[in-house]
A and B are shown apart, each in its own frame.
Chain A
Amino acid sequence: MTAMHEADRATAPPPLSGLTVEQKRVAWAWAFLAVPILFYVVIRFWPTLDAFWLSLHAWNLLGERRFIGFENFARLMEDRVFWQVFRNTFLYLIIGTPVSIVLSFLVAYHLDRVRFMHGFIRALYFLPFLTTAAAMAWVWRWFYQPVPIGVINNLIADLGLPQIAFLQSTTNALPAILATAIWHGLGFQVVIFLAGLRAIPETYYEAARVDGVGNGTILTRITLPLLKPTVVFLVVFSSIAFLRIFDQVFNMTTNDPGGPLNSTKPLVLLIYETAFRSYELGYAAAQTVVLFLVLLVISLLQLRLLRDR
């Protein structure tokens, strides 16, 4: 039936508009794409070019844009706060990614073999991912307060252990904030790992067991190699998330943003302050270019790792 109709249509004279069926379809395609193309050009491409262009200017929102070449970048190189921020951002990334990957893998690996209350336990781990990071930051901020306010220090005091300064300490504040970010994203990673583990065919394990291969060998020789795409995806996904950390830091340090003494300030918070507190938009744009370059390097590394598979 269909074939006959096709044949009819092919020999039929062109429709009223004078277009062939094929041309008509192409016209429909461009009609579907018209609004989206306008959107991507105006809301994505133009602003991207504008950000690069702006990074070569000095501009404080009110006066004229003044072209200054790479002066903003030269200034960044000599800005001590910028390097502190760069170091902090790197710390969020370099601690946050491995810790969250290892933790979520451990949970997923064991949870995968559990049948009893499997869905319930998975839900417990997943729930934090659905919370609003900015809201939960305030809960954690309260937990981290000194006695007699903070929950953790109250608990520590009850146990007779020495107090811990969390958000007041230049060394502890960053890990304390990072812990809340890891907590927030862990459930997503667990769920993705579980899906990855499910995708490994059961026959591989059966064959290994028939051959008398131990659990440890199964893990390192079968599970982990087959899980590599999942691991690469999660490493990149979480690296980017830690690199762009903002909500938690902003909300947990409102009285001294990124403090104490800039010890927790990430790149995005610096960008926010430079652009919307000091209104040095050109300088802030140069900072966003740095963020872009770091993300680019991570994405290229991902491509490289995936090709090696």
Chain B
Amino acid sequence: MSRIALHPMRVLTWTLLLLGGVVMVTPIFYMLMTSLKFPHEVYELTVIPREPTLENYVFVLADGRFLRWFVNSLVIASIVTVSNVFFDSLVGYTLAKYRFRGRYLVFIAILSTLMIPTEMLVIPWYMMSASFGWLDTTWGIMFPGMMTAFGTFLMKQFFETVPDDFLDAARVDGLNEFTIWWKIAMPLVTPALSALAIFVFLGNWTAFLWPLIVTNSPTNYTIPVGLTTFSVESQIDWELIMTGASLATLPTLVVFLIFQRYIIRGVVMAGLKG
């Protein structure tokens, strides 16, 4: 029973796990490889392109639409993420660290919005956007997600672990309440902040239903919505669709490969505490 000894069953389990994992990434890998193929090679079953080419990318990016959608998605996901990191933690902090009448009511009210599915709100949001002139604008895509109850709840839980002594010491030093939150409390919960940021960014980068509803002109599409219209247009040119799909997917994959550890930890944190 030496520790290094390889039990046949263990080797088998390990191999099956690895095979399963390979199957999981096959669609992503195949998509990326096909985006590097010439059209005549696309329907052969060879995975690796014989003569890799960037021609599909040149073609897809040529008219600037994809670049535009890419930038739209990046700007929208970034602004919404910053807004959530700011407001969700401000509210979470206030509910965790201040004692005042109505605190519990505010908390329950915000928490209760978790019960309402987004799909129920899209019709009122659409009507609201129509009357405020937000239809087909970047703000129109962003406004519903600027704060989330999920993020507020997550941050509240983390701020509760921050000792009051830290904050009181800062008060004695004469810092105002806003500075105490921003300069003292926020740095103490950076792991939670990054977990929140990852979740919000990913959610907005991949968001589909609301951007599809609220946008109308191609210049305002986000990348998933743009990709859908692009793919419908080029139904039979699968290598071009694979190129577009790669452009939509690559950024999150690259970020993951760099920050793998933090992202998995953040997802677990957000999933279990939120």
- Interface residue SS majority, chain A: helix
Q: Residue A158 contacts which of B45, B178, B248 (CB distance < 8 angstroms)? A: B45
Q: What does the 1/0 interface line of A270-309 toward B look like (CB < 8 Å)?
A: 0110011000010011001101100110010000000000
Given contacts A32-B91, A149-B43, contact A130 B27 (CB under 8 A): no
B113 at the interface (CB under 8 A from A): yes
Q: Residue B124 contacts which of A51, A247, A296 (CB distance < 8 angstroms)? A: A51
* 220-274 of chain B: CB within 8 A of chain A: 223-225, 227-228, 231-232, 238, 241-242, 244-245, 248-249, 252-253, 256, 260, 263-264, 267-268, 271-272
Given contacts A110-B13, A133-B206, A254-B232, contact A138 B245 (CB under 8 A): yes
Q: Are A123 and B260 in contact (CB under 8 A)?
A: yes
Given contacts A44-B121, A135-B245, contact A116 B17 (CB under 8 A): no
A54 at the interface (CB under 8 A from B): yes
Given contacts A32-B94, A36-B147, contact A128 B25 (CB under 8 A): yes
B125 at the interface (CB under 8 A from A): yes
Q: Residue B98 contacts which of A29, A131, A132 (CB distance < 8 angstroms)? A: A29
Closest chain-A Cβ to B1's Cβ sits at a distance in Å of 13
Q: Number of B interface residues, CB 8 Å?
A: 85
A126 at the interface (CB under 8 A from B): yes
Closest chain-A Cβ to B242's Cβ sits at a distance in Å of 7
Q: Residue B123 contacts which of A114, A138, A188, A285 (CB distance < 8 angstroms)? A: A285
Q: Are B24 and A124 in contact (CB under 8 A)?
A: yes
Closest chain-A Cβ to B179's Cβ sits at a distance in Å of 11
Q: Are A296 and B115 in contact (CB under 8 A)?
A: yes
Given contacts A54-B123, A135-B245, contact A295 B209 (CB under 8 A): no
Whole-angstrom CA separation of A271 from B117 in the bound complex = 13
Collect the chain A residues with CB atoms within 8 Å of residue B146's CB.
Answer: 39, 43
Whole-angstrom CA separation of A44 from B128 in the bound complex = 12
Whole-angstrom CA separation of A81 from B8 in the bound complex = 54
B153 at the interface (CB under 8 A from A): no
Closest chain-B Cβ to A92's Cβ sits at a distance in Å of 14
Q: Are A2 and B165 in contact (CB under 8 A)?
A: yes
Interface-forming stretch among A93-101, A139-147, A164-172? A139-147
Q: Are A127 and B28 in contact (CB under 8 A)?
A: yes
Identify the closest chain B residue to A126 (Cβ): B264
Closest chain-A Cβ to B11's Cβ sits at a distance in Å of 10
Counting chain B CB atoms within 10 Å of each CB, the highest count among A30, A107, A121, A130 belongs to A130
Q: Are A2 and B27 in contact (CB under 8 A)?
A: no
Identify the closest chain A residue to B97 (Cβ): A29
A14 at the interface (CB under 8 A from B): no
Q: Residue A114 contacts which of B17, B93, B115, B120 (CB distance < 8 angstroms)? A: B17
Counting chain A CB atoms within 10 Å of each CB, the highest count among B27, B100, B103, B238 belongs to B27
B90 at the interface (CB under 8 A from A): yes
B71 at the interface (CB under 8 A from A): no
Collect the chain A residues with CB atoms within 8 Å of residue B43's CB.
Answer: 148-149, 154
Given contacts A43-B144, A188-B271, contact A291 B119 (CB under 8 A): yes
7 further A-B contacts with Cβ under 8 Å, apart from A128-B25, A288-B123, are A48-B113, A54-B124, A122-B264, A133-B208, A191-B268, A254-B231, A272-B212
Chain B contacts to A: CB under 8 angstroms: 13-14, 16-18, 20-22, 24-25, 27-28, 30-31, 43, 45, 87, 90-91, 93-94, 98, 100, 103, 106, 109-110, 113, 115-128, 143-144, 146-147, 152, 165, 168-169, 172, 177-178, 181, 202, 205-206, 208-209, 212-213, 223-225, 227-228, 231-232, 238, 241-242, 244-245, 248-249, 252-253, 256, 260, 263-264, 267-268, 271-272
- List 5 contacting pairs A-B, 8 Å CB cutoff, sorted by A: A125-B24, A132-B245, A139-B31, A151-B30, A268-B119
